Amino acid sequence: HERCQDVSAIMLVGGYSECALLFNAVMQAFPDKDVFVPHEGSLSVLTGAVIYGHIPKIVSSRVCNFTYGIAVYVPFEPGMPQDKMFRYDGRLWCNDVFRINYKIDTIVNVGDTKRISVSKTFLTPEVQHLRKEPLEIPVYISDKENPKYVTDHGCIKHCVFYVPPVKGEWPHVAEGHIDFEIAGTEMIGTFVDKDTGDIITSVKIEFLPKAENSASDNRRRRIYDPEICGSDNDIQ
């Protein structure tokens, strides 16, 4: 990676850092680097977790392990895939568009926020029954920098953001926005109604990588829960 071009040394920490087999393998793989294990290196991960638990602000930034975004549908235009065309509320739309929020390998700071404008219409008689249903906004991750559709190779559904209707029923034109805030080990998604300014729901989205559940590239791993969710662009 371009950020690693000037690396001159490799420090091994964690439970396997004191393994001679691993240490020798790293030295053989990087013969031009200084490889070392600090004092009590095997305890560093545990120590870091304890320190972070007491002082969360000690972590000020992170690197996105994936490209994060949402699945949206947009007005259908010539050249878009025919198999993604569908009709809703009297108009033709293109489904499964990947609306990028944060890109892979982007450095994000704690407190950074990106807003996603949300709108959906309920104008025709055929969709009036949907006004009592929650909005479902799927959040996707990808191991590619610029995925176009959520069905592209390397994309998986991370979770679904469920937004209940305001006052039990959506207006004929529902509008609002979601603020996605970087908050240490997670992102916090908050939906705010445009007309009232009320916070309708707030969810936490797991942000840190973990060894369960992976995208297509096994080198980048995330844990995700498809049942919860938990670019300043319009969502339809």
Q: Tens digit of pLDDT for each residue in 36-45?
A: 999 888 888 8
By C-alpha distance, which of 61, 66, 16 is closest to 41? 16
Predicted local distance difference test score (pLDDT) of residue 188: 82
Structure tokens at 234: 């319009």
Domains of the chain: 2-57 (no CATH), 62-235 (2.60.34.10)
With 90 as the cut, is the pLDDT of residue 209 above it?
no
With 70 as the cut, is the pLDDT of residue 6 above it?
yes
With 60 as the cut, is the pLDDT of residue 12 above it?
yes
Most confident of 10-24, 104-118, 183-197: 10-24
With 70 as the cut, is the pLDDT of residue 231 above it?
no
pLDDT tens-digit profile of 159-169? 888 888 878 88
On whether the CB atoms of residues 212 and 193 are closer than 8 A, the answer is no
On whether the CB atoms of residues 221 and 214 are closer than 8 A, the answer is yes
With 70 as the cut, is the pLDDT of residue 121 above it?
yes
Which whole number is the average pLDDT over 105-111?
Answer: 86
Which whole number is the average pLDDT over 100-119?
Answer: 86
- Distance, CA of 158 to CA of 130 (rounded, Å): 24
Name the pLDDT band for 217 (thresholds 50, 70, 90).
very low
- The percent of residues above 90 in pLDDT, for the chain, comes to 28
- Distance, CA of 61 to CA of 37 (rounded, Å): 24
- The percent of residues above 70 in pLDDT, for the chain, comes to 84
Q: Which is more confidently placed, 190 or 146? A: 146
Name the pLDDT band for 222 (thresholds 50, 70, 90).
very low
Predicted local distance difference test score (pLDDT) of residue 224: 32
Q: What angle do CA 134, 116, 97 make, to 5 degrees?
A: 80
